[in-house]
Chains A and B, each alone.
Chain A
Amino acid sequence: MVRVLKLELKGITKRFGSLVANDHIDVVVEPGQIHCLLGENGAGKSTLMNVLYGLYEPTEGQILIDDKPVTFRGPGDAMAAGIGMVHQHFMLVPVFTVAENVALGAETTKAGGFLNLDDTRRKIKEISDRYGFDVDPDALIEDLPVGVQQRVEIIKALVRDAKVLILDEPTAVLTPQDTDELLDILRQLKSHGTSIVFISHKLREVKAVSDTITVIRRGKVVGTADPGASTTDLASLMVGRAVNLTLDKAPAKPQETTFQVKDLTVIAPSGQHVVDGISFDIARGEILAVAGVQGNGQTELTEAILGLQERAHGSILLDGEELLGRSVKDVLNAGVGFVPEDRSVDGLIGTFSIAENLILDRYDKAPFAKGISMSPAKVLENAKTRIDEFDVRTPSGSLAAGTLSGGNQQKVVMARELSRPLRLFIASQPTRGVDVGSIEFLHKRIVAERDHGTPVMIVSTELDEVIELADRIAVLYKGKLVGIVPAGTGRDVLGLMMAGLSPQDALADAASRQQAGGPVVQHTGQPADQHAGQPAERTAADPAPAAQPVQEPRSGAVGDDHE
């Protein structure tokens, strides 16, 4: 008989200096439930879970297990109490095997402290068989795809007899298909009696899998909802005001093609072809969205266009001019606006003022500079206009950019890049870590730039964003262009393409599954409410249907006979 466990957080408060990350949070996780914590980035969800897992000590408040108060001095205590955690960034040693990672910290040993990995292998196999995971205990972690790594994390928790499993933004690194598999695994775990705390800001998943939803905003519980609640209601609860989730965007009116990439290959220092023979073009007045799971060459592609990649071959033409091989400054002067994927590393200088950050690309040109001297008045004046125009919420332009929230920082970067005439606009992860309110605004600006007649390239790992913004969608997989498909292509097809299937195969595959009656990822971005409503029955009747579609093409693969 499985022991079930009731977990309660009572009045948890966590302060870091003057910052209150969690403010008197109460959450009750009933035994055998999937409990979702919904909130925007920076709302304090991860902090709360780190408190629960013993990584942080709460400033105030209590953790109760089966109504008895407990204190955790470290993760070891939490694990001993039956709490397991799958972190957003996997806590796996890449050069260890699966078995070694699972054993670590809970080793079984033979006499003399010698490791007994056979015992661990047996346990892994047992759990793998029970839940249908396909995990080789002797594979090295670094050789495994992220989806499998995540399963190793789950096995790690289960081997330690976790009764409550916390998953922190588990879908951030997964393809839509992997996400569906994960949601199925969670339902299975639940049916075996494991309670689950699922942390996410993605409404679709939260609605699909949860029994109870607790919404957190700015460190406080602002309400609970049931999974039947509408997406708009959840979003406004999460953001704190009414939000418009769908973007009003006129159909594109593409004009002449001015930007062309031909056979672009980028070679990493390790010798890998991180971008492998990519060709595409963008017309004036259209948005090409580049989709793909993180780390499939998107970063290198944008950096190559900007001139940041040294070993890039092929051709990049803007208005017939070759950009490849030119300095970054030349490329910027040619009229390329670029929003890098990590604003805090590449987009801004945190200790510089907002005003200075707004002219980083034009500090040496009139009207900001005259000879070797700069004109601070002009810089501040420019800042005022931009801050108004882009609705940056700050008392003054002379504050350090690092003090702004993520959304406002991104607005500063966007304001800088869009404040000069452009002939090409590239934005990488334009809304990563940005609050929903700012997303709306940033998306509108991007569309406005398109309507202004600029070719726009968006790189995003968020499928929702891609679908919303794109006029055409290019999918990258392992550095190669899988295909370019029109806007309005279904999520399931895009998801399969993100796993490396050609557009034709993805279409055929998605269609066949629809006929077979298997669950298909929704085209519309809306969750399947009938599933969310009775997840338990669905699990019992149909144990792992979503697990098949992705594995089928994988095992039946014929040939990538390149070289």
Chain B
Amino acid sequence: MSTTATAPVPGGPQGKPEKAKEPAQGMSAKPVTWKLPVTLAVLAVVAFIFFGLLGPQSTAKFGVSSGGDFFQLPAIEVPAFLSGIVLSLVLLGLAGYALVLKVKQNRRPPRWLPVVFTVVFVVAFLIWVVGGARTPSISLAGLIAGSVTLAVPIVFGSLSGVLCERAGVVNIAIEGQLLGGAFTAAIVASVTDNPYLGLLAAAVAGALVSMVLAVFSIKYVVNQIIVGVVLNVLVSGLTGFLFSTVMQANKEMFNSPGRLPIIEIPVLSSIPVLGPILFKQSVVGYLMYVAVIVVWIGLFKTKWGLRVRSVGEHPQAADTLGIKVNATRFWNVTLGGAVAGIGGSFFTLVAIDSFTKEISGGRGFIALAAMILGRWNPIGAFFAALLFGFADNLQSIVTIIGTPVPSQFMAMLPYLVTVFAVAGLVGRSRGPAASGIPYVKG
């Protein structure tokens, strides 16, 4: 090449200026990966073999209404084998469409595709499991209502995670906050004989656990993950110790918290399926719906939320605008702890009326996954938590009706769903940029 060679403008005809304002294709287009089409295809093939070809030759029955509903819907009965074949063919079709799009046009599948795929897959799975059970009948209403119930602490936990991470602090200690809330609720409600005081105390306990996290991670700049993990172990040990020394010794006095009453809203609660979920809940259940909406509005529509998010995304920018970064973080983490504490009270004031060791059973970590799957958005986290609640409830129901799958495998279901949902469906989702990074001035 000589000293004055000139390369043509890439992509455009000579003499026509390149668009300077719009980023060039090569720089802006996000990659179209094989991941999604291939995952869908593998799942579809699995579905076709198990749900279709190896499907049970029976009729699966799904009850829709429960006895108290004010109008009755007939139960849905489906032939398991036939519907297995049909649904798995639909899945194969969807996966094929995604593959064709990738191969022919190098385009990613439309956004509805993975959602529809998931729904069809779950339906096919349900029919397969129920159809293969000893008693091929299941109450759909009960399944869904139970899912919501199991999801309540997870929803509160994930809201706590959202509140903390949006402000830039990673909250691994959700598990500890749930557990602390559960324990305190039990003991305070037992001593005072007032479950509502127990609920309040649970919020305070969660907030206290959170304050430890806040002080160490914000003021003393200790690694947030480590503080969180240590807190989980600490709360677990402390409540375990107090349980066996204090609670066990005098159960009447310290571990009989009495339940929060279920408040039924007349008429509305008799709507099939939806009624029990929305209008037949304890105070904690109603609080969950309120909390999800309030946190969402707070974060995205108010001055407070704008400041919180700026602190979690770009603390230097917030600081240069006179926003107190570390104070904002401290109070948000504390608030998050209170929310998780309320979630913890659900274990001892609603689900069962006593405390046992490790009653939270790892749901704090599932809540963390729900937060990520819900993309750090309160509403997304709510639905993600519902998904985990559903998986959790399904495994217990399916174990009861007796299925071909060993119950140990079914017990893994919620965790498998967690791993696959977070790894596969979310892909590379982006959390708050400064989450987990302490802010030190100067």
Which A residues are closer than 8 A to B by beta carbons?
Answer: 53, 55-56, 74-77, 79, 85, 87, 91-96, 100-101, 103-107, 109, 112-115, 145, 252, 254, 257, 267, 270-274, 276-277, 279-281, 286, 471-472, 477-486, 499-505, 550, 553-563
- Indicate whether A480 sits within 8 Å of B26 (C-beta atoms), given known contacts A113-B303, A557-B21, A558-B16: yes
Taken together as a complex, chains A and B put the C-alpha atoms of A555 and B20 apart, in Å, by 8
Q: How far is the CB of A268 from chain B (nearest CB, A)?
A: 9
- Tell me whether B16 and A91 are in contact (CB under 8 A): no
Q: How far is the CB of B51 from chain A (nearest CB, A)?
A: 34
Q: How far is the CB of B244 from chain A (nearest CB, A)?
A: 46
Give the contacts of B242-264 with A (CB-CB under 8 A): none
- Tell me whether B25 and A560 are in contact (CB under 8 A): yes
CB-defined contacts of A503 to chain B, threshold 8 Å: 6
Known pairs A93-B317, A93-B318, A553-B17; list 14 more (Cβ under 8 Å). Answer: A77-B322, A93-B309, A104-B307, A115-B301, A115-B303, A472-B4, A478-B27, A502-B17, A504-B14, A504-B15, A553-B20, A557-B21, A560-B22, A561-B11
In the complex, whether B306 has a CB less than 8 A from a CB of chain A is yes
- Tell me whether A257 and B1 are in contact (CB under 8 A): yes
Chain B CB within 10 A, most for which of A76, A104, A106, A481? A104
CB-defined contacts of A93 to chain B, threshold 8 Å: 309-310, 313-314, 317-318
- Indicate whether A480 sits within 8 Å of B17 (C-beta atoms), given known contacts A94-B313, A94-B433: no
Taken together as a complex, chains A and B put the C-alpha atoms of A276 and B301 apart, in Å, by 41
- Tell me whether B314 and A92 are in contact (CB under 8 A): yes
Query: Contact mask B31-42 → A, CB, 8 Å, 1/0?
Result: 111000000000
State which of B7, B317, B319, B442 has its C-beta within 8 Å of the C-beta of A56: B442
State which of A76, A103, A560 has its C-beta within 8 Å of the C-beta of B24: A560
Which B residues are closer than 8 A to A by beta carbons?
Answer: 1, 3-33, 301-304, 306-307, 309-310, 313-314, 316-323, 433, 441-442
CB-defined contacts of A483 to chain B, threshold 8 Å: 6-7, 9
CB-defined contacts of B322 to chain A, threshold 8 Å: 74-77, 79, 105
Taken together as a complex, chains A and B put the C-alpha atoms of A503 and B7 apart, in Å, by 9
- Tell me whether B6 and A113 are in contact (CB under 8 A): no
- Tell me whether A486 and B4 are in contact (CB under 8 A): yes
Taken together as a complex, chains A and B put the C-alpha atoms of A94 and B9 apart, in Å, by 30
Taken together as a complex, chains A and B put the C-alpha atoms of A404 and B120 apart, in Å, by 65
CB-defined contacts of B1 to chain A, threshold 8 Å: 257, 280-281, 484
- Tell me whether B7 and A145 are in contact (CB under 8 A): no
CB-defined contacts of B21 to chain A, threshold 8 Å: 145, 554-555, 557
CB-defined contacts of A486 to chain B, threshold 8 Å: 3-4
CB-defined contacts of A95 to chain B, threshold 8 Å: 313, 433
Q: How far is the CB of B260 from chain A (nearest CB, A)?
A: 29
Taken together as a complex, chains A and B put the C-alpha atoms of A75 and B313 apart, in Å, by 19
- Tell me whether A559 and B13 are in contact (CB under 8 A): yes
- Tell me whether A559 and B30 are in contact (CB under 8 A): no
Taken together as a complex, chains A and B put the C-alpha atoms of A68 and B23 apart, in Å, by 49
- Tell me whether B320 and A505 are in contact (CB under 8 A): no
| Nearest CB in chain B to that of A480: its residue | B10
Q: Please, could you name 26 A-B residue pairs with CB atoms under 8 Å apart, sorted by A? A: A56-B442, A76-B322, A91-B316, A95-B433, A104-B310, A252-B3, A254-B3, A267-B31, A271-B30, A276-B10, A276-B26, A279-B7, A471-B3, A472-B5, A482-B7, A483-B6, A500-B18, A501-B18, A502-B8, A502-B15, A503-B6, A504-B15, A505-B16, A553-B20, A555-B21, A558-B19
CB-defined contacts of A112 to chain B, threshold 8 Å: 302
- Tell me whether B19 and A554 are in contact (CB under 8 A): yes
State which of A115, A272, A472, A555 has its C-beta within 8 Å of the C-beta of B27: A272
- Tell me whether B26 and A557 are in contact (CB under 8 A): no
Chain A CB within 10 A, most for which of B12, B26, B306? B26
Chain A CB within 10 A, most for which of B301, B307, B310? B310
Chain A CB within 10 A, most for which of B21, B25, B32, B323? B21
Give the 7 A-B CB pairs with smallest separation, nearest first: A271-B31, A76-B322, A105-B321, A562-B11, A273-B26, A557-B19, A91-B317
Taken together as a complex, chains A and B put the C-alpha atoms of A430 and B72 apart, in Å, by 79
Taken together as a complex, chains A and B put the C-alpha atoms of A378 and B317 apart, in Å, by 50
Chain B CB within 10 A, most for which of A55, A75, A279, A502? A502
| Nearest CB in chain A to that of B16: its residue | A558
- Tell me whether A113 and B304 are in contact (CB under 8 A): yes
State which of B18, B301, B307 has its C-beta within 8 Å of the C-beta of A557: B18
Taken together as a complex, chains A and B put the C-alpha atoms of A277 and B15 apart, in Å, by 20
CB-defined contacts of A55 to chain B, threshold 8 Å: 319-320, 441-442
Q: How far is the CB of A272 from chain B (nearest CB, A)?
A: 5
- Tell me whether B302 and A113 are in contact (CB under 8 A): yes
Taken together as a complex, chains A and B put the C-alpha atoms of A252 and B4 apart, in Å, by 13
Taken together as a complex, chains A and B put the C-alpha atoms of A156 and B304 apart, in Å, by 19
State which of B6, B15, B19, B323 has its C-beta within 8 Å of the C-beta of A560: B19
- Indicate whether A272 sits within 8 Å of B306 (C-beta atoms), given known contacts A472-B3, A559-B19, A560-B12: no
Taken together as a complex, chains A and B put the C-alpha atoms of A276 and B317 apart, in Å, by 33
CB-defined contacts of A480 to chain B, threshold 8 Å: 10-11, 24, 26
CB-defined contacts of A553 to chain B, threshold 8 Å: 17, 20
- Tell me whether A85 and B23 are in contact (CB under 8 A): no
| Nearest CB in chain A to that of B32: its residue | A271
State which of A85, A96, A501 has its C-beta within 8 Å of the C-beta of B20: A501
Q: How far is the CB of B302 from chain A (nearest CB, A)?
A: 5
Q: How far is the CB of A536 from chain B (nearest CB, A)?
A: 30
- Tell me whether A92 and B317 are in contact (CB under 8 A): yes
Q: How far is the CB of B184 from chain A (nearest CB, A)?
A: 30
- Tell me whether A484 and B20 are in contact (CB under 8 A): no
- Indicate whether A53 sits within 8 Å of B320 (C-beta atoms), given known contacts A94-B433, A273-B26: yes
Q: How far is the CB of B391 from chain A (nearest CB, A)?
A: 31
CB-defined contacts of A482 to chain B, threshold 8 Å: 7, 9
CB-defined contacts of A560 to chain B, threshold 8 Å: 11-12, 18-19, 22, 24-25
Taken together as a complex, chains A and B put the C-alpha atoms of A104 and B23 apart, in Å, by 28
CB-defined contacts of A559 to chain B, threshold 8 Å: 11-13, 16, 19
- Tell me whether A75 and B319 are in contact (CB under 8 A): yes
Q: How far is the CB of B309 from chain A (nearest CB, A)?
A: 8
CB-defined contacts of A271 to chain B, threshold 8 Å: 29-33
CB-defined contacts of B4 to chain A, threshold 8 Å: 472, 484-486
Q: How far is the CB of B429 from chain A (nearest CB, A)?
A: 13
Taken together as a complex, chains A and B put the C-alpha atoms of A503 and B15 apart, in Å, by 9
- Indicate whether A484 sits within 8 Å of B317 (C-beta atoms), given known contacts A553-B20, A554-B20, A560-B22: no
Q: How far is the CB of A277 from chain B (nearest CB, A)?
A: 6
CB-defined contacts of A101 to chain B, threshold 8 Å: 317
State which of B12, B19, B23, B314 has its C-beta within 8 Å of the C-beta of A91: B314
Q: How far is the CB of A142 from chain B (nearest CB, A)?
A: 10
CB-defined contacts of A79 to chain B, threshold 8 Å: 321-322
Taken together as a complex, chains A and B put the C-alpha atoms of A482 and B5 apart, in Å, by 12
State which of B18, B316, B317 has its C-beta within 8 Å of the C-beta of A502: B18
CB-defined contacts of A502 to chain B, threshold 8 Å: 8-9, 12, 14-15, 17-18
CB-defined contacts of B307 to chain A, threshold 8 Å: 104-105
Taken together as a complex, chains A and B put the C-alpha atoms of A499 and B302 apart, in Å, by 39
| Nearest CB in chain A to that of B302: its residue | A113
CB-defined contacts of B18 to chain A, threshold 8 Å: 477, 500-502, 557, 560
Chain A CB within 10 A, most for which of B1, B32, B301? B1
Taken together as a complex, chains A and B put the C-alpha atoms of A505 and B20 apart, in Å, by 13
Q: How far is the CB of A476 from chain B (nearest CB, A)?
A: 11
Taken together as a complex, chains A and B put the C-alpha atoms of A257 and B18 apart, in Å, by 30
State which of B7, B8, B27, B320 has its C-beta within 8 Å of the C-beta of A273: B27
| Nearest CB in chain B to that of A252: its residue | B3
- Tell me whether B17 and A505 are in contact (CB under 8 A): yes
CB-defined contacts of A281 to chain B, threshold 8 Å: 1
CB-defined contacts of B15 to chain A, threshold 8 Å: 502, 504-505
CB-defined contacts of B304 to chain A, threshold 8 Å: 113
